[in-house]
Amino acid sequence: MDLSVVIPTLNEAAGAPPIVTRLKALFSENGISNEILIVDGESSDGTQELARAAGADVLHCPELGYGPAFRQGVRAARGDFILTMDGDGSHPPELAIDFWRQRSDADVVIGSRYVPGGSALMPFYRLTLSRLLNALTRVFYGFPVRDASGGMRIYKSSFLKSIPTSAQDFSIQQEILARALSSGATVKEIPLQFRPRAGGRSKASALNLGMSYLKLFFKIKSGALQSRP
Ligand SMILES: Nc1nc2c(ncn2[C@@H]2O[C@H](COP(=O)(O)OP(=O)(O)O)[C@@H](O)[C@H]2O)c(=O)[nH]1
Ligand SMILES: [Mg+2]
């Protein structure tokens, strides 16, 4: 199988099913064999049923947090490559084909809001926090990446599966990057136009995110993420 798409969801009945339908059509047009793994928390809005009806394989992840759902999806993935994306409509499914075409250009290919051609329609405080964290990551830790928290990415499956992670939340994205970069991996950013979510509510809290990024910064600074066990 060519590609596994891993999409963590929690109450994304408005966003996730149309993404699955669109991805299935795009992959079929482009001859890409695939599985779409919706890794769902305890959704109560019908996300699981609607996603399954649209053609996804639905995995159930009772543990709360983006991190555990992400890990479960990656573990289950059977494709040669893994594309990760959000299920709320912020990541354009059409970009999956750009990712596929550029899948071998680097070990980590990131959809980036902050390179030319990229954009971010986000609430002002979220955009400010995101830009600040990304600036800190570049300046203090030397990540050669403009959008280190971007979650739409493609990796060779064997590569992503070899990276150990422990983050429970969205900071798993930086954790993966820190480990990948410290082992000499290459990164490429392609422009992503981040859109407002299709419906439902964000699960990210600015305070929690700020705290967990702070913890991660200390972990990186102390070198804890540098060697791959
Ligand atoms: N399974 C699962 N998915 C989650 C959880 N938290 C967030 N997600 C999903 O992760 C993706 C990104 O979350 P979102 O709330 O949009 O974060 P934001 O874009 O930073 O506001 C969405 O598809 C969410 O439904 C969780 O605790 N469990
Ligand atoms: Mg979102």
pLDDT of residue 215: 79
Ligand 1 centroid – CA 199 distance (Å) = 12
Q: Is residue 228 situated within a structural domain?
A: no
Probe target for ligand 1 pocket from 63, 86, 147, with the most ligand atoms within 8 Å of CB? 86
Q: Find the CATH number of the domain harbouring 140.
A: 3.90.550.10
Number of domains comprising the chain:
1
Q: List the one residue out of 227, 126, 127 whose CA is nearest residue 181.
A: 227
Q: Which two tokens stand for residue 52?
A: 């399954």
Ligand 1 centroid – CA 69 distance (Å) = 9
pLDDT of residue 226: 63
Ligand 2 centroid – CA 200 distance (Å) = 10
Q: Is residue 70 situated within a structural domain?
A: yes
Angle value at C-alpha 160, between 158 and 161, nearest 5 degrees: 65
The atom number, within ligand 1, closest to the CA of 64 reads 27
The atom number, within ligand 1, closest to the CA of 40 reads 1
pLDDT of residue 227: 43
pLDDT of residue 229: 36
Sign of CA dihedral 53, 55, 56, 59: positive
Residues of the chain with pLDDT under 70: 226-229
Residue pLDDT, tens place only, 141-158: 788 999 999 999 999 999
The residue segments making up the domain with residue 21 are 3-221
pLDDT of residue 165: 96
Query: pTM of the full predicted structure?
Result: 0.95
Residues 152 and 99: their CA atoms lie apart, in Å, by: 9
Residues 130 and 137: their CA atoms lie apart, in Å, by: 11
